[in-house]
Amino acid sequence: MTVTRRITVALGDRSYDVVVGRGARRELAALLPPTARRAAVITQSTIPFTVETGLPTVRIDIGAGEWAKSLTTVEHIAGGLARMGLTRRDVVVAVGGGMVTDVAGFAAATWHRGTPVVHVPTTLLGMVDAAIGGKTGVNLAEGKNLVGAFWQPSGVVCDLDALDMLPDREWRSGNGEMAKYHFLTGDDLAAMDLAARVARCVELKAEVVAADEREDGRRVILNYGHTLGHALEIATEYELTHGEAVGIGLVYAAELARRLGRIGDARVDEHRLVVRGMYGLPTTVPVGIAPGRLVELMRRDKKAIAGLTFVLDGPHGVEAVAGIDEHTVVEALALMS
């Protein structure tokens, strides 16, 4: 028996549902656009999870890892869509982790200047964050997600059955985003069962996206821990997973907020306890990475419109803080060994 929850991302005539639960993939066909006559499933050969669209379907496999999150991969997808003759009235279905939904979403956004996409995330990180909200994109050597588009899906299917074979490290990567939501919601997510945890994260993201679709204001809080996190991913050549890097970034953001007088010692200690104790994530910057290199990468962050910009905790909650002095940023990095 399929037991699912539906959370709506309320965006007017572009609203869509996120279906969460075991067996949720059975509801995929109902989320496809009624105009679709064909489907292109974008996935990876290493992903054992499969879906039935109920339509004539062509599968396009892409490479694995952050290095495949590139414009070259988008070109590969576009070639496959062209060969099958996919039109903007058909549908792209992304089946995989956050890298797959980001790349497939961007390909859909640009194919015929906008083709519907439905996401079927198969990782915890994808379910609670990457597949929801319409932010798509690819990396450049100079930074993460620098080329992309806002393109909302027609629906998202979070089938918890896909997590049964998830490797331990992929669980930890998802836990990085889960730890972020711990601070954004104030809820003890670790005390909930898996379905409730995923649904609660989806609810918060849906609420934030509905209020600020294009990250002009409140949506920036969803980047908590990501400024240093993205820099660490690049500096380690992606030896750190996204979630591991975000975990370190959360603790760093707390240290930086303390140096700026925004929070006290107890709140910093709580960050370390949650990130390391509750979610089993690293809390220190790997040895051998020069602070100057991290500062250089953080300057390229998409939020950095007015100097070095971070999402930081404070007396009014988590918010963006711009124009932070480089000396203070480096001083806080010195506390992360």
Among 113, 237, 316, 327, which one carries the catalytic annotation?
113
The reply to whether 242 belongs to the active site is yes
13-66 confidence digits (pLDDT tens)? 999 999 999 999 999 999 999 999 999 999 999 999 999 999 999 999 999 999
The reply to whether 69 belongs to the active site is no
Instruction: Point out the least confidently predicted range of 59-68, 122-131, 303-312.
Output: 303-312
The CATH number that domain 218-336 falls under is: 1.20.1090.10
Instruction: Point out the least confidently predicted range of 30-39, 279-288, 299-308, 318-327.
Output: 299-308
Among 69, 230, 258, 271, which one carries the catalytic annotation?
230
For the chain, the structural domain boundaries read 3-166, 218-336
Among 242, 258, 262, 302, which one carries the catalytic annotation?
242
Per-residue pLDDT at 209: 96
CATH architecture observed for domain 3-166: 3-Layer(aba) Sandwich (3.40)
The reply to whether 223 belongs to the active site is yes
The reply to whether 237 belongs to the active site is no
The reply to whether 135 belongs to the active site is yes
Residue 145: pLDDT over 70: yes
Residue 280: pLDDT over 80: yes
Among 144, 219, 258, 302, which one carries the catalytic annotation?
219
The reply to whether 226 belongs to the active site is yes
148-192 confidence digits (pLDDT tens)? 999 999 999 999 999 998 999 999 999 999 999 999 999 999 899
Among 213, 215, 233, 255, which one carries the catalytic annotation?
215
With helix as H, strand as E and coil as C, how does the chain read?
A: CCEEEEEEECCHHHCEEEEEEECHHHHHHHHCCCCCCCEEEEECCCCCCCCCCCCCEEEEECCCCHHHCCHHHHHHHHHHHHHHCCCCCCEEEEEECHHHHHHHHHHHHHHHHCCCEEEEECCHHHHHHHCCCCEEEEEECCEEEEEEEECCCCEEEEEHHHHHHCCHHHHHHHHHHHHHHHHHHCCCHHHCCHHHHHHHHHHHHHHHHHHCCCCCCHHHHHHCCHHHHHHHHHHCCCCCCHHHHHHHHHHHHHHHHHHCCCCCHHHHHHHHHHHHHHCCCCCCCCCCCCHHHHHHHHHCCCCCCCCCCEEECCCCCCEEECCCCHHHHHHHHHHHC
Q: What is the pTM of this model?
A: 0.92
Among 223, 244, 255, 302, which one carries the catalytic annotation?
223
Per-residue pLDDT at 307: 78
Among 119, 200, 226, 271, which one carries the catalytic annotation?
226
Per-residue pLDDT at 225: 97
